[in-house]
Structure 1
Amino acid sequence: MARKTREDAELTRQLLLDTAEQVFWEKGVAGTSLADIASTAGLTRGAIYWHFTNKLDLFNALCDRIVPDLEALDASLLNQHGNPASRLWQHSHALFSLLRDNPRIRRICGIHHLGCEQVGEMAPLLLEQISWTQRKKAKLQQVLEEAQQQQLLRPGVDPALAAIGLHSLYGGLMHCWMINSDDDTIHRQLSALLSPYFEGIFSDRSWQLPLPPAGE
């Protein structure tokens, strides 16, 4: 009986997260109350407070659902196998493919970019966003420093500054697509959009070469 109760509780928690994803996407975070989520899920507010302290706690749990996919993508980037410039190029394309092909990641990232004001009860998200951005830029910088050690960067290119630029390019392209997701130009022309930046920081076009199979 206890096991069944735990299973039922987890099913309820997942239902609340599924519903929050849907309602946050449709109405924005500020425009959504916990009562809205409970009502849409066919549950009481008490069910929400059993699982989540407040809206921020619920939102963080929602974001945690996509962390494994994003961490797997970063692990591939940082595997130190093969040409670091090529790893960055492939990582860039894998990132946008994940955003395009995974509805959950697309919605949650869209909520972050377009549907969440980081004020009031959601103000702590700003610090979390700053921390996440710093970690992401540090990973990009690590690979760019590896490229510098292999003399793949153009003279005078600072890996730290190049990482900020590349991260900003990702964010700008994502935002442009999210505000008009019916237009798939960015996904169809991603290579053409990224190429000028890669050509500007790398000394040759080795970033376009495919990576060798693992172990070679």
Structure 2
Amino acid sequence: MARKTKADALLTRRLLIESAIEQFALRGVSDTTLTDIADAAGVTRGAVYWHFNNKNELFNEIWREQIPFRDIIEHSLIQCEKDNPLEYMRELFVVSLIYIAVTPRMRALMQILYHKCEFNKDMMSESEIRQRIGFRYDNVRHLLQACIRNGSISADTNVELMLMILHSFFSGVVKNWLMDPERFNLQQQAPLLVDNILATFASSHLPLSSVGKISSPVVMRAARAG
């Protein structure tokens, strides 16, 4: 019985986290109450307080438990970082954009981060959340440096400047798409969008890949589930 009770508690906690993600993305963090989350989860408000002291604690737990984005898609990448760091970086960006486009949960998380949250001092900071799940400067810096070493990009490239440009590109594409998802098909346009930004500093031509070629089995399963 004790084992079942513990399992039930874990299940309720998971349900509350998933319901909070859904409600935060729909209503906004500030306008979502614990009652809204309890109702969406089909539990009492007391059940919420059994697991979380307040809304900020629940918000923080969502991001604290979130697997880093690169780790989610790493095993689905075809290219090898050591063999061709530029093509690997290209695929990393393309698959990331496609994954956001076709995975409802990740799309909801991005909606919360970019459009549905007013941060306060008791919430995990936006910069920390971005480091946990989004664009990681240390990873991309490593790839850019590898590209310089193998001649894929010019040795004169200002790596720190390119990091800011690439971050602005990735964040800007996602943020603008989330504002109006019907404006363009992110899943289909991801390869072309990434090729255009990389073409601004790559010294060698990147072969364009079709959506079918770039999509991994993991991404395709997500597309069917979405």
Q: For residues 53-132 of structure 1, what are the structure 2 equivalents within 5 Å?
A: 53-64=53-64, 66-67=66-67, 70-73=70-73, 80-119=81-120, 121-122=122-123, 124-129=124-129, 131-132=131-132
| Alignment-derived partner of residue 177 in structure 1 | 177
How far the C-alpha of 1:51 sits from its partner, in A, is 1.4
1:86 and 1:208 in contact (8 A); partners too? no
Contiguous gaps of at least 5 residues in structure 2: 215-226
CA change 1:127–1:178 in 2 (3 A) is closer
How far off is 1:181 after superposition?
Answer: 1.1
Paired letter, 1:97: I
- Name the aligned partner's letter for residue 109 of structure 2: I
The Cα offsets for residues 68-104 of structure 1, whole Å up to 9 and x where unpaired, read as 5542335759963320000011111100111011111
Matches within 5 A, 1:1-40: 1-40=1-40
Q: What is the CA–CA distance in structure 2 between the aligned matches of 1:155 and 1:148, rounded to whole Å? A: 5
CA distance in 1, matches of 2:133, 2:156: 24
Contact 2:24/2:116 (CA < 8 Å) preserved in 1? yes
Whether the 8 Å CA contact 1:77–1:88 is kept in 2: the answer is no
The structural deviation recorded for 1:106 is 0.7
Greater CA drift, 166-175 or 191-200:
191-200
Q: Is the 8 A contact 2:86 2:152 kept in 1?
A: yes
Code of the residue aligned with 1:4 in structure 2: it is: K
Q: Is the 8 A contact 2:144 2:159 kept in 1?
A: yes
Q: How far has the Cα of 1:130 moved from its partner?
A: 6.0
C-alpha contact (below 8 Å) 1:85/1:207 kept by paired residues: no
Q: Which has the higher helix share?
A: 1
Amino acid in the other structure paired with 1:49: Y
Q: Is the 8 A contact 1:89 1:208 kept in 2?
A: no
* C-alpha distance 134-95 of structure 1, shift in aligned 2 (>3 A): closer
- Structure 2 length-normalised TM: 0.80
- Indicate how the Cα distance of structure 1 residues 181 and 78 shifts in structure 2: closer, same or farther if over 3 A, else same: same
Give the partner amino acid of 2:54: N
Long gaps (5+) in structure 1: 212-216
Contact 2:79–2:87 under 8 Å retained in 1: no
Q: Which moved more, 1:28-37 or 1:66-75?
A: 66-75
Q: Residues 78, 45 of structure 1: CA spacing in aligned structure 2 closer, same or farther, 3 A cutoff? A: farther
Q: Is the 8 A contact 2:73 2:96 kept in 1?
A: yes
Show CA shifts across 1:6-63 (max 9, x none): 1110111122122212211221100011122123323222211221232222123323
Q: How many residues end up aligned between the 2 structures? A: 210
- Rounded to whole Å, the distance in 2 between the matches of 1:147 and 1:177 is 29
Which deviates more, 175-184 or 197-206? 197-206
